[in-house]
Each structure stands twice: as C-alpha cells, then as structure tokens.
Amino acid sequence: MLTRSPIKYCKNCGTAVVYRVPDDGDTRERAVCPACQTIHYENPLNVVGTVPVLGDRVLLCKRNIEPRWGKWTLPAGFMELGETTAEGAARETDEEAGAQYEIGELFTVMNVPRVGQVHLFYHARLLSDVFAPGHETLEARLFTEDEIPWDEIAFRTVRETLEHFFADRRRGHFGVHAVNIL
C-alpha cells in the first residue's frame, strides 16, 4: 500500500486541512480545507522515457543521481506540467543521453501503484551513435541484448520494458504492453 505524504495546509488559504470523505459524492478520503472547502487531490506521478534503438542495439544511461546511482536505465524521468507524455519522453532523452533520434509510438505503460507512479516508454529510432549525456548521466552507451548488464538495471519498469522489447523484436511485431507492478 502506498504511504501517503500528507498535505498539511490548504494551497489556497493556508488553513490546516483535515482528511475526510468530501460531501460532494466522492468515495475516497481527501485533504479538505475546513475554512474554504477546497478539496486537494493526490494523484500519481508520470515517469516518461524512450527505448532508443540503433540497429540491434539499445541505448542505456548509467545514473549519476540517486536513487540507484551507478545503475543502468533507459532515458526517462518525471513528466513536467505543460507537456504531453511524448514531449516529456523526448525531453528526458535529450537531457539524459544527448541523443539524436526520432520518437515513435507508445510501447509500455507500467502502473506502479505502491509508489504512486505510472511509467510510459516510447519507441525511439536513433539517428547517430554520438551522445552528449547531461549531468544526471555518467555514461550513455549502446548494448546488444546479450551485452545488457541485466544485474545492474536500476528499475523493474526498465527491466520489463527491455524484456518486452527484445521479445517483440524476436517475434517481428511490436505491440503496446500494459503492466501492473504490484
């Protein structure tokens, strides 16, 4: 079960909130301001990224930040307000790998309710094998399936996305995968 990081004060008027089921027909406990009656919702965070491919190799980034410093991941991060999921995935690929690529279709949707996140990965076709990683990345490198450091993958969502990618490639057909990681 997700551990809530409780909202303590109303974002509108600053009054201490109370947790209760609102009187508007809602069925979940929410942070409600007793002074101005504002209901504050706590929603999942979206993590967006890409599966960048050049020939038979996939681009991975070695993390230069916590959590999981020094572990390998696909270029990904938190979606920002004002961008689509594809725009966020593209931005993260630029920031973390400094790669030249064309973004493709949605590939995986990973629900991770225990941490309040949804991870979305898009296909990306690399246009070059030259990378200019940003400050969050120690190294950006291409790997064949056999070369991937599977024991050094940072996150389960990345591992499962890579497993789906290679399985689909072997089948010769890519689908969209929706996965619940409980």
- Report pLDDT digits (tens) over 120-174: 999 999 999 999 999 999 999 999 999 999 999 999 999 999 999 999 999 999 9
DSSP letters spanning 76-134: EEEPPTT--HHHHHHHHHHHHH---EEEEEEEEEEEEGGGTEEEEEEEEEES-S-----
How many CA atoms lie less than 13 Å away from 159 in the CB half-sphere? 10
Q: How confident is the model at residue 35 (pLDDT cuts 50, 70, 90)?
A: very high
- Cα 23-29-33 angle, rounded to 5 deg: 65
Q: What is the pTM of this model?
A: 0.89
What count of Cα atoms within 13 Å lies in the side-chain half-sphere of residue 125?
5
- Whole-number pLDDT of residue 164: 98
Higher-scoring residue by pLDDT: 58, 24: 58
- How far apart are alpha carbons 174 and 167 in whole angstroms? 9
Residue 25 pLDDT class (50, 70, 90 cuts): confident
In whole angstroms, what is the distance from residue 44 CA to residue 16 CA?
23
* Rounded-to-10 torsion of CA 11, 13, 16, 18: -70
